[in-house]
Structure 1
Amino acid sequence: MEPWEFTTLTLVVCVSFLVILALWRKYYKGRKLPPGPVPLPFFGNMLQLDLKDLSMSLCKLSEKYGPVFTVYLGSQPVVILHGYKALKEALIDQGEIFGGRGKIPIFDDNYKGHGIIFSQGEKWKQIRRFSLTTLRNFGMGKKSIEERVQEEAQFLLEELRKTKSQPFDPTFILGCAPCNVISSILFHQRFNYDNEEFLSMMRILSENLIILNSPMIQDENNPESVFDLENLATAGMDLFDAGTETISTTLRYGLLLILKYPEVQGKIHEEIDRVIGQHRIPSMKDKLEMPYMEAVIYEIQRYIDLIPHSLPHEVTRDTHFQEYFIPKGTTVFPLLSSVLFDTKEFPNPHQFDPGHFLNKDGSFRKSDYFMAFSIGKRACLGEGLAKMELFLFLVTILQNFTLKSTIDPKEINIRPCSTGLINVPPKFQLCLLPR
């Protein structure tokens, strides 16, 4: 390339960039959104954020821009809500307006707006109402569901005994138990942990997830109905996926934290022995007399911060929020981390401490800041089932075993190995010593 050609090309590139930058700044300043860091064309604020720990980056920005601010992920503006007051005002007080589901391209391609989690508007209302009714008909919130979880806890116990006190990775086994609970609800059938059909279902949660009855297949021919095959199958997949992965991840992270803090395990054992003993199967009524165990479970969920910035919401119509205007269709991230790690509500929030949920007299302390399942209209559909599984599975394990680390507990790494949409615990092994 001749020198003059190179100079010309450089000038063209520079002028083009300056024109794009000027147009972008004009476009950016013309948008009436909450304040935030100035974005770059194409990249937005991506270069200013630590994408490996997005929630932490956003929490740091709140120190400068306050509880409501805007960042650009590429060219897409996202309004960030930080702190209890902002989340409550948006998700509870203006729950209908902030109840849309924000767009995530990879999920849009796979889910196509179907199911419970990623649907919108009237479709979402109908399929959520149908799912809640169906789950109640299948026993959600009733004794029959508790019996299914208790039964599965005993099968889980059988599998854990097969480890014979040898080191093992609990990931697979702890995934099977909640998967079987959902299977028993949706299919009225549980599976052995080595069953090929069950293993296939564990690998591909998108296949054959819900049994349809004849009224729904009449509805399939109604063009205005949301109860078509694809929508119902996606709803089933939502229940199956969320009801398996979130519980198994929380159980796995919970065991890791209990390994890290042997003094916590000692207090749990003392409470189990005093309230339940060694031979009776644990039940939900035991929770009333086990404030320490309940505090441990709540603290596990608070500390691991499973879904740090929740799933994205979307504003369903133009609205004024605090002193800002947010137009219809704007994506919103409610930072659950900012509430779960609130320093006033939870002293030393980055320390795992069940005392965060205990009163001075040792009784369980409720907190409005506990938002592990989110809040408002888009809160987790299976919160009640999740709490039941976490209590019964963890109590059953600790009633029968002492958890032993393969390394010095002080050396255990409890930082998540992945901090994207979900915080995933690092891989670890443990030994289960019979009590």
Structure 2
Amino acid sequence: MLAAAGSLVAVIWASLYLRILLYLPTLLLSALTFLFLADFLKNRRPKNYPPGPWRLPILGCLFHLDPKQPHLSLQQFVKKYGNVLSLDFANIPSVVITGMPLIKEVFTQMEHNFLNRPVSLLRKHLFNKNGLIFSSGQTWKEQRRFTLMTLRNFGLGRKSLEQRIQEEAHHLVDVIREEGGQPFDPHFNINNAVSNIICSITFGKRFEYHDGQFQEMLKLLNEALCLESSLMCHVSTLISQEG
């Protein structure tokens, strides 16, 4: 009796297994069709949305970009689609704007359209959505207004600021001259010069190019920016956006 029941179960399971194998391609095709349709409906763009390369569900336009030199890929897109184009970084729709006149027009006349920005987990952990660069929404609008007002009080747009820039330019030239005409990476020296101009305006003090503590701070800031632009940070941002 038990043997007969076991044989019946085996026959039923074999029949179900064959049916699953038979309909598996149809089920997979239906699932993929559903995912594509759901993604299309979820990410439909208005008629006046900027043009851009075709996208895939989940991946977006990431596969179009060269991971080592993404800026070169963007240059090709600009030639094809113009100075305003759309790119989907996975599930985050983005509009890319190039060209200084157009960028200036957008940020001076259409700033209300750029209040909210995606916030990565690293940025949220380090800055808690604060600061002029890393904030978003109404907080960014208020801090931008305060920063512009404060910088004007410190001489932004006046000849006094031009004098600070010229003074720092002389220091930068002296540091470059110390290299004796040999090849070198000017990245940190230029960062140091720009940071010194900001420090001289806000603190009334500049830092020497050989100041170890100041160089360490600039190095940590550079590492934080590189980390935020890394692939793993983008992946974590996409995961957080999905959550």
Q: Where in structure 1 do 4 or more consecutive aligned residues deviate above 6 Å? A: 6-13, 82-89
- The verdict on how the C-alpha distance between 1:144 and 1:9 changes in structure 2, with shifts beyond 3 A counting, is farther
Of Structure 1 and Structure 2, which has the larger fraction of its residues in helix? Answer: 2
Letter in 2 for 1:148: R
Residue number among 81, 91, 96 corresponding to 1:62 in the alignment: 81
1:125 has 2:144 as partner: no
- The verdict on how the C-alpha distance between 1:153 and 1:62 changes in structure 2, with shifts beyond 3 A counting, is closer
Larger-gyration structure (1/2): 2
Contact 1:71 1:80 (C-alpha < 8 Å) held by counterparts: yes
2:113 matched residue in structure 1: 98
Deviation at 1:131, TM superposition (A): 0.9
CA distance in structure 2 between the partners assigned to 1:88 and 1:137 by the alignment:
23
CA distance in structure 2 between the partners assigned to 1:186 and 1:18 by the alignment:
62
- The verdict on how the C-alpha distance between 1:48 and 1:159 changes in structure 2, with shifts beyond 3 A counting, is closer
1:202 has 2:218 as partner: yes
CA distance in structure 1 between the partners assigned to 2:138 and 2:172 by the alignment:
40
Contact 2:115 2:140 (C-alpha < 8 Å) held by counterparts: no
Give structure 1 stretches of 5+ with no counterpart.
207-240, 242-435
Contact 1:183 1:189 (C-alpha < 8 Å) held by counterparts: yes
CA RMSD in angstroms, aligned pairs only: 4.0
1:18 has 2:29 as partner: yes
Structure 1 residues 315-394: aligned runs within 5 Å: none
CA distance in structure 1 between the partners assigned to 2:154 and 2:104 by the alignment:
32
Deviation at 1:12, TM superposition (A): 8.5
CA distance in structure 1 between the partners assigned to 2:103 and 2:166 by the alignment:
35
SS of the residue corresponding to residue 29 of structure 2 reads helix
Residue number among 184, 194, 218 corresponding to 1:178 in the alignment: 194
1:115 matched residue in structure 2: 131
Give structure 2 stretches of 5+ with no counterpart.
1-13, 226-243
Deviation at 1:124, TM superposition (A): 1.7
Letter in 1 for 2:203: F
CA distance in structure 1 between the partners assigned to 2:190 and 2:166 by the alignment:
15
CA distance in structure 2 between the partners assigned to 1:194 and 1:88 by the alignment:
36
1:153 matched residue in structure 2: 169
Deviation at 1:38, TM superposition (A): 4.8
CA distance in structure 1 between the partners assigned to 2:126 and 2:22 by the alignment:
43
Equivalenced residues, count: 199
1:143 matched residue in structure 2: 159
Scaled by the length of structure 2, the TM-score of the pair is 0.61
- The verdict on how the C-alpha distance between 1:17 and 1:86 changes in structure 2, with shifts beyond 3 A counting, is farther
CA distance in structure 2 between the partners assigned to 1:182 and 1:87 by the alignment:
23
CA distance in structure 2 between the partners assigned to 1:142 and 1:88 by the alignment:
20
CA distance in structure 2 between the partners assigned to 1:120 and 1:88 by the alignment:
19
CA distance in structure 2 between the partners assigned to 1:86 and 1:159 by the alignment:
35
Structure 1 residues 70-89: aligned runs within 5 Å: 70-80=86-96
Higher relative contact order (CA 8 A, sep 6+): 1
Structure 1 residues 230-269: aligned runs within 5 Å: none
- The verdict on how the C-alpha distance between 1:134 and 1:9 changes in structure 2, with shifts beyond 3 A counting, is farther
Of Structure 1 and Structure 2, which has the larger fraction of its residues in strand? Answer: 1
CA distance in structure 2 between the partners assigned to 1:85 and 1:205 by the alignment:
29
Letter in 2 for 1:99: F
Deviation at 1:85, TM superposition (A): 10
Scaled by the length of structure 1, the TM-score of the pair is 0.37
Contact 2:85 2:95 (C-alpha < 8 Å) held by counterparts: yes
CA distance in structure 2 between the partners assigned to 1:86 and 1:146 by the alignment:
25
SS of the residue corresponding to residue 113 of structure 2 reads coil
CA distance in structure 1 between the partners assigned to 2:138 and 2:18 by the alignment:
58
- The verdict on how the C-alpha distance between 1:114 and 1:82 changes in structure 2, with shifts beyond 3 A counting, is same
CA offsets per residue over residues 278-333 of structure 1, 9 Å max, x none?
Answer: xxxxxxxxxxxxxxxxxxxxxxxxxxxxxxxxxxxxxxxxxxxxxxxxxxxxxxxx
SS of the residue corresponding to residue 93 of structure 2 reads strand
Among all aligned residue pairs of Structure 1 and Structure 2, give the percentage whose two residues are the same amino acid. 30
CA distance in structure 1 between the partners assigned to 2:146 and 2:203 by the alignment:
17
